[in-house]
Amino acid sequence: MRILGIETSCDETGVAIYDDEAGLLAHTLYSQVKLHADYGGVVPELASRDHVRKLVPLVKEALAEAKLSADQIDGVAYTAGPGLVGALLVGACAGRALAYAWGVPAVAVHHMEGHLLAPMLEETPPAFPFVALLVSGGHTQLVRVDGIGQYQLLGESIDDAAGEAFDKTAKLMGLDYPGGPLLSKLAEQGNSGRFKFPRPMCDRPGLDFSFSGLKTFAANTIAAEGDSALADIARAFEDAVVDTLAIKCRRALEQTGLNRLVIAGGVSANRHLRAQLESMMQKRGGEVFYPRPEFCTDNGAMIAYAGMQRLKAGEHQALAVKGQPRWPLDQLSALGQS
């Protein structure tokens, strides 16, 4: 079975083709970073219009890369949510239309399920059950995963997501958009001992996160110390976020009794976070899994893989198209159940 996957939830247009026997056959991606850079963040209407311009050429490119024709595609998967509603509808309408034209089933995929399953694209995928840390610009969640669609939300951010806090703090420092990776690069030059930032919500039980206060703490420190201290402030900020994520991951593993950890989403590419979680899991005698960097950010490959699993289980969508800007992950059906 070969599935075409389409991802248009925010500011990346991704198209990929996945074969259940041969694996990933094609992976194409267009980023809108330059388009939104002048605005310091994603402009939803511009994002939607750019998806319209780029999606069909990327579908053609993916088919050419895989050396396939349309009649060799067995299904189409598209991101239906969560995300920017206009951007979602571009991919959903295109995906459903292609499936109708090609006479194949279409399936709506949950964006975060795509991220959660992205490590399955690697040579050594994690076995169920495991704890997943989904950490990106829009979400920070801890989830117990017992199988595809068998998700128990353990904790999530009550305000800014970790990636959002990175980008907002980078903007306070005058860094270009998207600022998160630039802040991490600046932090490499910083002294970790100069400033001590709080580890929010780690002094109380529970697995929820809060990162908006760190942004305020950083703003106050920048105002007090000036631009000459930016590298040290960036280091202190990154240390605080990474420590907080690691502390909550350890709690989640202890609470569930599991010893396998998956990290996915854009922030999972952070080298400091990976190193700390790898060290923690090594000490615990456990395992940590994550996708390669190109599959940490939004991409069509993860949507194609997730869609493949659901189409093989018999799920598919009717002709009506629906985008869900808000869509709780634990509302998904377990495979084999309606």
- Using DSSP's 3-state secondary structure scheme, residue 31 falls into strand
Residue 316 among known ligand-binding residues: no
Q: Give one DSSP letter per residue of 152-173, joined into a string.
A: EEEEEBSSS-HHHHHHHHHHHT
Supply angle C-alpha 147, 153, 158, rounded to 5.
150
The answer to whether 180 is annotated as binding is yes
167 assigned binding-site residue = yes
159 annotated as a binding-site residue? no
Bridge partners, 12 (sequence order):
31
Structure tokens at 30: 């267009």
134 is in an annotated binding site: yes
Pairing mode, if any, of strands 75-81 and 106-110?
parallel
What is the rounded CA–CA span in Å between residue 157 and residue 142?
A: 9
The verdict on whether residue 298 carries a ligand-binding annotation is yes
**How many CA within 13 A on the CB side of residue 274?**
15
**Side-chain half-sphere exposure of 191, counting CA atoms within 13 A:** 5
14 is an annotated ligand-binding site residue: no
Binding-site sequence positions: 111, 115, 134-138, 167, 180, 270, 298
Binding-site sequence positions for Fe cation: 111, 115, 298
Binding-site sequence positions for substrate: 134-138, 167, 180, 270
